[in-house]
Amino acid sequence: MTVPSAQPAASTTEIARRAEAAARIAENAGRSAMAFFEARDSLVVETKESAQDFVSRADREVEEEIRRAVAAEFPEDGLLGEEYGLETGRSDFVWVIDPIDGTAAFVSGQANWCISIAVKGPDGVVIGVIAAPVFGETFFAVRGGGATLNGRPIAVDPKASLTSGNVAFGATQKSPAATSAAFVQRLYEEGGVLFRIGSGALMLAYVASARLAGYYDPYINAWDCYAGIVLVEEAGGAVDFRGSDDMMTGGPLYAGTAFVTRELRRLAEG
């Protein structure tokens, strides 16, 4: 997914306003999610589409909080969230939200979960914020402005290869077992090592910050990856995402350097 960095002057102002708000809203949502995390034994957890696909009151209430905050500042903007779907707006902007990406980790007491907020403008996704409260880390990117971690610039490793670092893999039960197994076998046959933490957004942030060599997901949704796409691309990397333009249908995603992205697609397609 490639979005032009050049924006009209008026649009630049609008993007800057939303970028500041997105960072602030993500930080506030992170505090709310942490309160739920610390009291997670009291949460009622439900299963959605598969045995590993969970939702809790924390997911719903954090998304509701984000939606209220966006509506208060940008009432004309649209909203798309994992838990409550699409609410169309009257402006050219849509906020794409995953209130807690990595719910399975969240409810089991693991630290590998995050809040993911992206903003899509008339020319594509222009803002990405991924906040990981347990780690005290916030990844932030604005189209044309670079990517940061807690305010410090980050970049992908330009020399990365499939064997220079771990490769993240996002397959779930939505992907055929044989397809997932074939990718893993090909990766290991070529000397690669698999990495998985259950949060696609966080794994994309780790690619952007050179903690991972690359990331492949056979099927990922817009709310899981839009913020991470901006981060990786603004960190100097490349992302090939095959989801629908209307954001309602997900698809495969390959991320890393341009070279690693091509190599991941080669392995995935056999």
Question: What predicted TM-score, i.e. pTM, was given to this entire model?
Answer: 0.91
- The full length of the chain comes to 270
Distant-in-sequence, close-in-space partners of 172: CB < 8 Å, separation ≥ 6: 50, 52, 53, 219
Q: Which of 153, 178, 204 is the C-terminal boundary of a domain?
A: 153
Q: What is the pLDDT of residue 245?
A: 87
Q: What is the pLDDT of residue 90?
A: 96
Q: What is the pLDDT of residue 49?
A: 52
80 and 18 belong to one structural domain: yes
Whether 212 is covered by a domain: the verdict is yes
134 and 179 belong to one structural domain: no
Q: What is the pLDDT of residue 47?
A: 54
* DSSP sequence for 40-60: GGG--EEE-SSTT-EEEHHHH
33 and 134 belong to one structural domain: yes
Q: What is the pLDDT of residue 265?
A: 97
246-269 pLDDT, tens digit per residue, is 899 999 999 999 999 999 999 999
The C-alpha atoms of residue 54 and residue 258 are separated, in whole angstroms, by: 33
Sheet harboring 167-169: ordered strands across? 194-195, 167-169, 214-220, 251-256, 238-241
Query: Contact at 8 Å (CB) between 253 and 239?
Result: yes
Query: Which residues of the chain, if any, have pLDDT below 70?
Result: 1-10, 43-55
The C-alpha atoms of residue 116 and residue 54 are separated, in whole angstroms, by: 17
Query: 54 lies in which domain range?
Result: 9-153
Query: Contact at 8 Å (CB) between 20 and 145?
Result: no
Distant-in-sequence, close-in-space partners of 24: CB < 8 Å, separation ≥ 6: none
How many domains is the chain partitioned into structurally?
A: 2
3-state helix, strand, coil in the chain (%, to 5): 40, 25, 35
Burial class (CB in 10 A: 0-12, 13-18, 19+), 6: exposed
40-88 pLDDT, tens digit per residue, is 877 655 555 544 444 578 889 999 999 999 999 999 999 999 889 999 9
